[in-house]
Amino acid sequence: MTKKLLLGDEAAALGAVHAGIAAGYSYPGTPASEVMEYLIKASKEGGFQANWCVNEKVAYEEALGVSFAGKRSMVSMKHVGLNVAADPFMNSSITRINGGLVVLVADDPGMHSSQNEQDTRYYAQFARTICLEPSSHQEAYDMTRKAFELSESFHIPVVIRMVTRLAHSRGQIAERTKREKNKSRRAASKDWTLLPVNARRRFSSLMEKQPMLVKFSQGSSFNSLTLNKEDKKLGIIASGIGFNYVMENIKDMSPAPSVLKISTYPLPESLIKELLDHVKNILIIEEGYPFIEQNIKGLFGIKGKKISGKLSGVLPITGELDPDLVRKALKLKPLKSQDSVKDWLPARPPQLCKGCPHIDTFKALKKALESYPEAVVFSDIGCYTLGALPPYYAVDTCVCMGASVSMSKGGSEAGIHPSIGVIGDSTFIHSGITPLLDAVSKDRDMTIIILDNSTVAMTGGQPSIATGEKLENIIRGLGVDLRHIRRIVPIKKNLEENAEVIKEEIEHPGLSVIIAFRACIYEAIKRKKEQKK
Amino acid sequence: MKQDIVLAGVGGQGILTIAYIIDYAAQLSGLYFKQAEVHGMSQRGGAVQAHVRLSDKDIFSDLIPKGGADIILSVEPLESLRYIDFLSPEGKIVVSRNPYVNIPDYSDLDKVLGVVKQNKNHVIVDSKKLSKDAGSPKSQNMVMLGAGSLFMMLEEKLFLQSIKEFFKPKGKKIVDINIKAFHLGKEAAENSK
């Protein structure tokens, strides 16, 4: 059988298709977006639902509905998306998952395209569930398939933890036979109605399952232990992408270390013990936080054993691993290479595209704020965050989805004037509606500028759920004073006029919403092409 | 037998397209390969790179170690230097001579090309001119792939098949332009040897 050429994200998505999902749900976010893009393409032929949703919480809950009905579903998101979906995630492990539910989360160590590098393995542990961590494309495919079985046999959501390097790496997989979809099979209400009386029973049940989860982990063929019987000096524990970097370098090591590859959580205790009994020194190589290291080391370490890794400092505690860092941790000499010239090479950071509507909005905003040196511009997650960089220096914050609106209200209440929030259309729909409703209820003195470019641009132009008239209707419906809902068109020749509108609304001693409406240039090009067809 | 290739350029220059076309050619050849790239924010007009690894044996790391690259192929001169420490001492460096200036402090081009020329295995290509000759300035990436292909362990016919497959949805004219760009790039590299 010919092998398939896929990104890590796509390999996992195909695993879900072949596991017989009835539905997939997601919100765009790098490095997880390609999972849903693949599912959407495969959905017609596969006869399943594949939808971009309003946000990750909604996506997760829709997947839960599918599980209740007895069918399989996958919800995918970037790591910080699970913060948004944390409520349904944590509670779903208390329910009795019916149709298999797999939660694919892509972490972004090194923060290529994110505001933090949180490690999803902690979430899996927090919810007392299983997490599988692939290190190759084949494993991404196989583990996703397996995750559905595990979810149905233990009645828990199962997490697949990806990282950027696998999500956005292209490789080959061998497909396996496709499984049929589940038939409808309604769940029992008492297992899903988390009133305290039921929740206590369900939580006990979850805790009773824990030894079985460890047993699964210990017996899983995704883990492997290779002991060097001849040498007892060094044992390496490696997980996920870290395992690849160990294998890249291991040929240069003599004597060869013993190696335990961990791909399943909760941790496979018996395998760790077997390695610990065999060697004196343990080196732990894992992408993300020192999760395994901390768990094994505990507070006081293990007598007679030296445990090293990110906590001990042989690997950096922040950022992404790479083959060179791991090579150094393995005490191997670096390969011969050419000298870096980074000391005089200028950086080339990402920037707003030529012709981007945000440029014109920021220019108008800067112009309007010339007479308000005390102004604070609370910003949000999207391309427009690049407005923080030169030559614009137009925004002061970027924390999490929707925070621009809520922080503007808090800022205003703390005496900041003008207190401005800038947020994109999709981010507004994701998490800006509720804080705007809050601001309406107090009519706070703040000005929200919605940068409506009618697409989710940063992640590659996925459709925005509400843009243009639909978006304006939502804002009207929230109860914003109609006289203070303004529209501007961010183009060069409107600079003066737009700055004037912004100034007028700053002067209004209550809540204003300005919608700066012009499509992302790539979206505009795409639409033109579609019209031609 | 293995070959590790670092691809470089600026967001929008079609670096990931080059990567995909090599991947697909490798798939056709039956070799093992892995190819790492970065999407999202880092793509917006910023430095873009991809690592392509080809081998007749199983490949573990998605990333190339420093000093491990056999080829640096860059659609932009300055960007080739950002990863120069990945190049092995015997490695080959294939770069466009046409700068993409979207930063205020772009380095002196002679200085940049001077570092490239310090490598005995260097090829510098006028990708801008050749892409226009091929029929579209957008085909600079295929000019550079053609130039770089001279050193790659994949047969020309596999590249051509891969290019055809990739651009097929855009119509025959675009396919032809990109095939021509590939040939012009390869020819230029042959002549500069």
The 10s digit of each residue's pLDDT in A5-58 is 999 999 999 999 999 999 999 999 999 999 999 999 999 999 999 999 999 999
Question: Does the pLDDT at position A82 exceed 70?
Answer: yes
pLDDT confidence bin for A532, thresholds 50/70/90 = confident
Give the global pTM.
0.96
- Write the CA distances from A86 to A5, A97, A105, integer angstroms: 33, 16, 12
B64 neighbourhood in chain A, CB within 8 Å = 323
Contact check, Cβ <8 Å, A112/B42? yes
Of A163, A111, A346, residue with least CA distance to B63 = A163
Question: Does the pLDDT at position B43 exceed 90?
Answer: no
Is the Cβ–Cβ distance between A204 and A236 less than 8 Å?
Answer: no
Mutate to test the interface with B, among A9, A224, A337, A339 (most CBs of B within 10 A): A337
ipTM value, please give it.
0.94
- Closest CA–CA distance from residue A167 to any residue of chain B (Å): 9
Between CA A367 and CA B80 the distance in angstroms is 39
Between CA A105 and CA A108 the distance in angstroms is 10
Cα angle value B154/B160/B163 (rounded, 5°) = 110
pLDDT confidence bin for A350, thresholds 50/70/90 = confident
Is the Cβ–Cβ distance between B163 and B151 less than 8 Å?
Answer: no
Q: Which residue of B has its CA nearest to A336?
A: B67
pLDDT for B192 equals 87
Size of interface A-B (CB pairs under 8 A): 157
- Closest CA–CA distance from residue A326 to any residue of chain B (Å): 10
- The Cα diameter of chain B in Å comes to 45
Question: Does the pLDDT at position A1 exceed 90?
Answer: no
Per-residue pLDDT tens over the stretch A188-200:
999 999 999 999 9
A90-94, Cβ contacts within 8 angstroms, sequence gap of 24 or more: A90/A126, A90/A127, A91/A194, A92/A60, A92/A64, A92/A67, A92/A127, A92/A157, A93/A127, A93/A128, A93/A129, A93/A156, A93/A157, A93/A206, A94/A194, A94/A199, A94/A202, A94/A203, A94/A206
Contact check, Cβ <8 Å, A5/B105? no
Between CA A175 and CA A202 the distance in angstroms is 37
Q: Summarize the confidence of residues B121-140 as an average pLDDT.
A: 97
Between CA A382 and CA A401 the distance in angstroms is 9
pLDDT for A177 equals 95
Count of Cβ atoms closer than 10 Å to residue B157 Cβ: 10
Which of the pair, A349 or B184, is modelled with greater confidence? B184
Nearest CB to A168 within list B10, B38, B87: B38
Ranges assigned E (strand) in A108-173: 130-132, 158-163, 169-173
Between CA B151 and CA A245 the distance in angstroms is 26
Q: Summarize the confidence of residues A431-441 as an average pLDDT.
A: 98
Q: Summarize the confidence of residues A109-133 as an average pLDDT.
A: 97
Angle between helices B156-167 and B172-192 (to 10 degrees): 150
- Ordered alpha helix ranges (H), chain B: 15-29, 77-81, 109-117, 127-134, 140-149, 156-167, 172-192
Give the amino acid at A324.
Answer: D
Whether the CB of B66 is below 8 Å from some CB of chain A: the reply is yes
Contact check, Cβ <8 Å, B45/A352? yes
Nearest CB to B34 within list A171, A341, A385: A171
Contact check, Cβ <8 Å, A350/B105? no
Q: Which residue of B has its CA nearest to A350?
A: B46
pLDDT confidence bin for B40, thresholds 50/70/90 = low
pLDDT for B41 equals 61
Question: Does the pLDDT at position A185 exceed 70?
Answer: yes
Of A122, A80, A83, residue with least CA distance to A288 = A122
Which H or E run contains A498? helix A495-507
Per-residue pLDDT tens over the stretch A456-507:
998 989 999 999 999 999 999 999 999 999 999 999 999 999 999 999 999 9
- Closest CA–CA distance from residue A48 to any residue of chain B (Å): 26
Per-residue pLDDT tens over the stretch A132-150:
999 999 999 999 999 999 9
Of A59, A54, A57, A58, residue with least CA distance to A23 = A59
Of A436, A449, A437, residue with least CA distance to A487 = A449
Between CA A17 and CA A62 the distance in angstroms is 17
Which H or E run contains A74? strand A72-78
Q: Summarize the confidence of residues B67-84 as an average pLDDT.
A: 97
Between CA B89 and CA A469 the distance in angstroms is 60
| A129 backbone φψ class: left, alpha, beta (φ>0; ψ -120 to 50) | beta
Q: Summarize the confidence of residues A98-113 as an average pLDDT.
A: 96
Between CA A461 and CA A409 the distance in angstroms is 30
pLDDT confidence bin for A319, thresholds 50/70/90 = very high
Q: Summarize the confidence of residues A337-343 as an average pLDDT.
A: 91
A216 CB-contact burial (10 Å; exposed 0-12 / middle 13-18 / buried 19+): middle
Touching A: B residues 105-164, CB under 8 Å: 105-107, 115, 119
Q: Which residue of B has its CA nearest to A115?
A: B41
Whether the CB of B192 is below 8 Å from some CB of chain A: the reply is no
Contact check, Cβ <8 Å, A113/B81? no
Contact check, Cβ <8 Å, B78/A345? yes
Of A458, A429, A400, A464, residue with least CA distance to A80 = A400
Whether the CB of B27 is below 8 Å from some CB of chain A: the reply is yes
- Closest CA–CA distance from residue A382 to any residue of chain B (Å): 9
Nearest CB to A112 within list B12, B23, B38: B38
Taking the CA of residue B67 as centre, how many other CA atoms within 13 Å lie in the half-sphere pointing to its CB? 10
Contact check, Cβ <8 Å, B84/A168? no
Q: Is B99 helix (H, G, I), strand (E, B) or coil?
A: coil
- Closest CA–CA distance from residue B59 to any residue of chain A (Å): 8
- Ordered alpha helix ranges (H), A279-402: 291-297, 323-329, 357-368
Contact check, Cβ <8 Å, A171/B42? no
Mark A195-209 as b/e (b = at least 16 C-beta within 10 Å). Answer: eeebeeebeeebeeb
A229 CB-contact burial (10 Å; exposed 0-12 / middle 13-18 / buried 19+): exposed
Q: Which residue of B has its CA nearest to A137?
A: B34
Between CA A385 and CA A458 the distance in angstroms is 10
Of A17, A172, A39, A7, residue with least CA distance to A106 = A7
Count of Cβ atoms closer than 10 Å to residue A485 Cβ: 19
- Within 8 A by CB and 6+ apart from A367, the residues are A495, A496, A499
Contact check, Cβ <8 Å, B107/A346? yes
B67 neighbourhood in chain A, CB within 8 Å = 334-338
- Write the CA distances from B60 to A102, A162, B32, integer angstroms: 26, 16, 10
Q: Which residue of A has its CA nearest to B11?
A: A350
Per-residue pLDDT tens over the stretch A291-307:
999 999 999 999 999 99
Within its chain, how far is the Cα of B172 from the centroid? 23
Contact check, Cβ <8 Å, B87/A171? no
- Closest CA–CA distance from residue B183 to any residue of chain A (Å): 26
- Write the CA distances from A191 to A60, A501, B27, integer angstroms: 18, 55, 48
Contact check, Cβ <8 Å, B19/A323? no
Which one-letter DSSP state was computed for residue A334? P
- Within 8 A by CB and 6+ apart from B135, the residues are B173, B176, B177, B180, B181
Per-residue pLDDT tens over the stretch A227-276:
999 999 999 999 999 999 999 999 999 999 999 999 999 999 999 999 99
